[in-house]
Amino acid sequence: MVGRIAGFPDNAVITEVGPRDGLQSEPAFVPTAQKIQLIQSLLDAGLRRFEITSFVSPRAVPQMQDAVEVIAAFRDRSDAHLTALVPNMRGAEAAIEAGVDAMVLFASASESHNLKNVNRTRSESFQGFAQIAKRAEGTGVALQGAIATAFGCPFEGEVALKAVVDQAKAYRDLGMDYITLGDTTGMATPMLVIQRVQALAEAVPTVDIALHFHNTRGVGLACAYAGLSQGITHYESSIGGLGGCPFVPRATGNVATEDLAYLFAESGVQTGTDLGRLIEAAQLAERIIGRELPGQIMKAGPRLQTASMDSVRTANG
Amino acid sequence: MVGRIAGFPDNAVITEVGPRDGLQSEPAFVPTAQKIQLIQSLLDAGLRRFEITSFVSPRAVPQMQDAVEVIAAFRDRSDAHLTALVPNMRGAEAAIEAGVDAMVLFASASESHNLKNVNRTRSESFQGFAQIAKRAEGTGVALQGAIATAFGCPFEGEVALKAVVDQAKAYRDLGMDYITLGDTTGMATPMLVIQRVQALAEAVPTVDIALHFHNTRGVGLACAYAGLSQGITHYESSIGGLGGCPFVPRATGNVATEDLAYLFAESGVQTGTDLGRLIEAAQLAERIIGRELPGQIMKAGPRLQTASMDSVRTANG
């Protein structure tokens, strides 16, 4: 079937966050060579934007201790856009030195989650961001902003739209032209997505808004659909759905990149990715971490992969 | 947040198919008392429409051998609408005798799946339906039609829109006013949903179209979202996501009722169900079949179930 769902954009860009957001909470260190192999397989599948690592304390997040080496492996790929999460000036210095294309600064839209996550008030976080922005001037390294708990807070419940809009304006005032709404704990719903992106289109019209959903409550792809219905073209996801939800042991975390790419392709939205190769990358990710990942399309295969009539037992409808 | 997504209906009706479609492929017989307990918990959660059993050969599907007893337990609930799947005249006789509100007749939109599923050509299936329709006259038992492989066939690949439309017209001509599009093997996509329901709104405007999705490729709720965007008010799902996909061992099957109800509630579409009680019913279903079900909201809990700040370890965004 050809065509595109009415109102959807003709292209969308997927940023792969598996190497950072997906792997950071893995208890066993993934060897650097395996991280590089995974990222290479994602490049081979057509992805070009990566949140590739973070420059955090190796004591706090030992999984990311090889940030410099991972970036070094890909910094000469001029067609790849590499970002790293940066919590403070020390991390910023290291990220600039390592050669990232952009640094991702992050704060939560809710005060208590920010305190829990980075042990700072939101105001203190933004004081730090201003210093980092100053440091980045003239380096050629761009800044991006992430708004955690943008759709709800596990401690406070609902998050006011105004808190999200104000934070986006503050990021824009620091010179950012790419801001991510993070569904940190799977509280996004399609209606909240529509409400927030409409408000941001008005408040920060020059900024690219990216949507980062978790499938914790099953509606991750429905939220992406809502984003597409509003013309949003930037999404973030994790191969295979790597990365759990720290709040709910049995629940899933990030939306799986290959599932998102499948939804987009089947809706007529081009992403430049190859579904078969994305599935291979998801299978590689499963082998690397040694357990089943929540991605669905990697288990079922593409739509038109037909079966033999002898291979199947059916049971009436 | 109050309101409703633009274009969505204000109400939708969920038909629970877990007792039939969900349980039919369970290898171990679920005792009748447990089936009744599960259905009672679904009634307590506010559901009122049930595909409650099927009248098939007990040799072919032993799980459904207690069809008469299950219906007997609920036939006096005048607020509950009970349907049973009926493959042939013998099943129809038994269903009428047992006291169902409606019989569900089913055929596939693709010839090879129909042959595999019921060992008849589609034409032979419809000859049988005509006889059953005659038998049902004057009994007060209504007929519903299900179109299996309505979004794709595991043997043939794409299914022509015309096959679906023609089958819906044939069902309508038999007097049916409720027709289900079955996503038998998880090949539905939002674009196909929109295409099919628009064509059916034109071809059989007096018929209620119901959508029955499988989450095999992760897009089940995105397909439901697409259905809502077209004003469709009837959906079928299975508590906890009971019922696998016979074609793909590791893949999930039916969309979970409680996940669907969550999406609807959060989109401003009322279903008359209580999410907390649906989650309890899903947990009961898990206990009954003795393994984890794919439903998401039953693991994560409702959106605004806040956590204690001491209970959680976060890792930077």
Instruction: Name the residues of A annotated as catalytic.
Output: 245
Q: Which of B3, B87, B192 sits opposite A316 (nearest CB)?
A: B87
**What does the pLDDT look like over B216-230, one tens digit per residue?**
999 999 999 999 999
- Spatial separation of the C-alpha atoms in residues A15 and A10, rounded to whole Å: 17
- CATH number, domain of B66, equals 3.20.20.70
Q: Would you say A218 and B258 are in contact if contact means Cβ atoms under 8 Å apart?
A: no
Asked if the model's pLDDT at residue A313 lies above 70, the reply is: no
Match 């032209």 to its residue by tokens.
Answer: A177
Q: Would you say B169 and B205 are in contact if contact means Cβ atoms under 8 Å apart?
A: no
**What does the pLDDT look like over A275-289, one tens digit per residue?**
999 999 999 999 999
In this predicted structure, what is the pLDDT of residue B66? 98
In this predicted structure, what is the pLDDT of residue B314? 55
- Spatial separation of the C-alpha atoms in residues A190 and A224, rounded to whole Å: 8
Residues in contact with B149: Cβ distance below 8 Å, sequence separation at least 6, in sequence order: B108, B109, B110, B113, B159, B182, B184, B185, B187
Q: Would you say A107 and B316 are in contact if contact means Cβ atoms under 8 Å apart?
A: no
Selected residues 210-229 of chain A with any CB under 8 Å from a CB in chain B: 215-219, 221-222, 224-226, 229
In this predicted structure, what is the pLDDT of residue A141? 98
Which structural domain range is residue B89 located in? 13-300
Taking CB atoms and an 8 Å cutoff, what residues of chain A touch B301? 248
Residues in contact with A138: Cβ distance below 8 Å, sequence separation at least 6, in sequence order: none
Q: What is the mean pLDDT of residues A99-123?
A: 96
Taking CB atoms and an 8 Å cutoff, what residues of chain B touch A303? 152, 187, 189, 217
- Establish if A219 belongs to a structural domain: yes
In this predicted structure, what is the pLDDT of residue B252? 78
- Report the chain B residue with the minimal C-alpha distance to residue A215: B296
Asked if the model's pLDDT at residue A294 lies above 60, the reply is: yes
Residue B149 burial (CB < 10 Å; 0-12/13-18/19+)?
A: buried
Q: In chain A, helix, strand, coil percent, each to 5? A: 40, 15, 45
A59's tokens: 């004591």
In this predicted structure, what is the pLDDT of residue B317? 45
State how many domains chain B has.
1
Which residue, among A165, A157, A152, has the nearest Cα to A191 in the 3D structure? Answer: A152
- Spatial separation of the C-alpha atoms in residues B4 and B216, rounded to whole Å: 28
- Report the chain A residue with the minimal C-alpha distance to residue B255: A218
Q: What is the mean pLDDT of residues B116-124?
A: 95
Asked if the model's pLDDT at residue A314 lies above 60, the reply is: no
Selected residues 93-112 of chain B with any CB under 8 Å from a CB in chain A: 106, 112
In this predicted structure, what is the pLDDT of residue B31? 98
State what percent of residues in chain A have pLDDT above 70: 95
In this predicted structure, what is the pLDDT of residue A308? 74
In this predicted structure, what is the pLDDT of residue A74? 98
- Report the chain B residue with the minimal C-alpha distance to residue A53: B316
Q: Does B251 touch chain A (CB under 8 A)?
A: yes
Coil/strand/helix, residue B237: strand
Q: What is the mean pLDDT of residues B251-256?
A: 87
For an interface test with A, which of B113, B212, B217, B309 has the most A Cβ atoms less than 10 Å from its Cβ?
B217
Q: What is the mean pLDDT of residues B142-149?
A: 98
Handedness of CA A276, A281, A282, A288 (dihedral sign): positive
**What does the pLDDT look like over B231-245, one tens digit per residue?**
999 999 999 999 976
- Establish if B79 belongs to a structural domain: yes
- Establish if B316 belongs to a structural domain: no
In this predicted structure, what is the pLDDT of residue B246? 64
Model ipTM value? 0.95
In this predicted structure, what is the pLDDT of residue A171? 98
State what percent of residues in chain A have pLDDT above 90: 89
**What does the pLDDT look like over B61-106, one tens digit per residue?**
999 999 999 999 999 999 999 999 999 999 999 999 999 999 999 9
Which residue, among A188, A175, A181, has the nearest Cα to A220 in the 3D structure? Answer: A188
**What does the pLDDT look like over A128-139, one tens digit per residue?**
999 999 999 999
- Report the chain B residue with the minimal C-alpha distance to residue A87: B316
**What does the pLDDT look like over B265-276, one tens digit per residue?**
999 999 999 999
Selected residues 1-30 of chain B with any CB under 8 Å from a CB in chain A: 1, 3-5, 21, 24-25
**DSSP structural state of residue B271:** -
Mean of the per-residue pLDDT values for chain A?
94
- Contact flag B316-A85 (C-beta cutoff 8 Å): yes
- Establish if B314 belongs to a structural domain: no
Mean of the per-residue pLDDT values for chain B?
94
Asked if the model's pLDDT at residue A2 lies above 70, the reply is: no
In this predicted structure, what is the pLDDT of residue B92? 98
Taking CB atoms and an 8 Å cutoff, what residues of chain B touch A158? 1, 304
CA distances for B149 relative to A315, B184, B259, angstroms: 14, 5, 23
Asked if the model's pLDDT at residue A317 lies above 50, the reply is: no
Q: Would you say B73 and B313 are in contact if contact means Cβ atoms under 8 Å apart?
A: no
Q: Would you say A243 and A253 are in contact if contact means Cβ atoms under 8 Å apart?
A: yes
- pLDDT band of residue B197 (cuts 50, 70, 90) is very high
> How many CA within 13 A on the CB side of residue B234?
19
- Spatial separation of the C-alpha atoms in residues A192 and A196, rounded to whole Å: 6
Instruction: Name the residues of B annotated as catalytic.
Output: 245
Q: Would you say B255 and A178 are in contact if contact means Cβ atoms under 8 Å apart?
A: no
- Establish if A179 belongs to a structural domain: yes
- pLDDT band of residue B1 (cuts 50, 70, 90) is low
- pLDDT band of residue A55 (cuts 50, 70, 90) is very high
Classify the phi-psi angles of A229: left when phi > 0, otherwise alpha if psi is within -120 to 50, otherwise beta: alpha
In this predicted structure, what is the pLDDT of residue A255? 97
For residue B227, count other CB atoms closer than 10 A to its CB: 27
Q: Does A78 touch chain B (CB under 8 A)?
A: no
Range list of H helices, chain B: 32-44, 67-72, 89-98, 111-118, 122-136, 161-173, 190-203, 220-229, 257-266, 275-289, 297-300
- Establish if A313 belongs to a structural domain: no
H/E segment holding residue A43: helix A32-44
- pLDDT band of residue A57 (cuts 50, 70, 90) is very high
- Establish if B86 belongs to a structural domain: yes
Asked if the model's pLDDT at residue A248 lies above 90, the reply is: no
Taking CB atoms and an 8 Å cutoff, what residues of chain B touch A266? 189-192, 219
For residue B2, count other CB atoms closer than 10 A to its CB: 5
In this predicted structure, what is the pLDDT of residue A292? 92
Taking CB atoms and an 8 Å cutoff, what residues of chain B touch A225? 190, 222, 225-226
- Contact flag A299-B156 (C-beta cutoff 8 Å): no
In this predicted structure, what is the pLDDT of residue B239? 98
In this predicted structure, what is the pLDDT of residue B250? 67
Coil/strand/helix, residue A266: helix
Q: Which of A112, A191, A221 sits opposite B219 (nearest CB)?
A: A221
Taking CB atoms and an 8 Å cutoff, what residues of chain A touch B225? 190, 222, 225-226
- Establish if A309 belongs to a structural domain: no
Amino acid identity for residue A187 in this structure:
M
The distance of A95 to chain B (nearest Cα, Å) reads 16
Residues in contact with B140: Cβ distance below 8 Å, sequence separation at least 6, in sequence order: none
- pLDDT band of residue A246 (cuts 50, 70, 90) is low
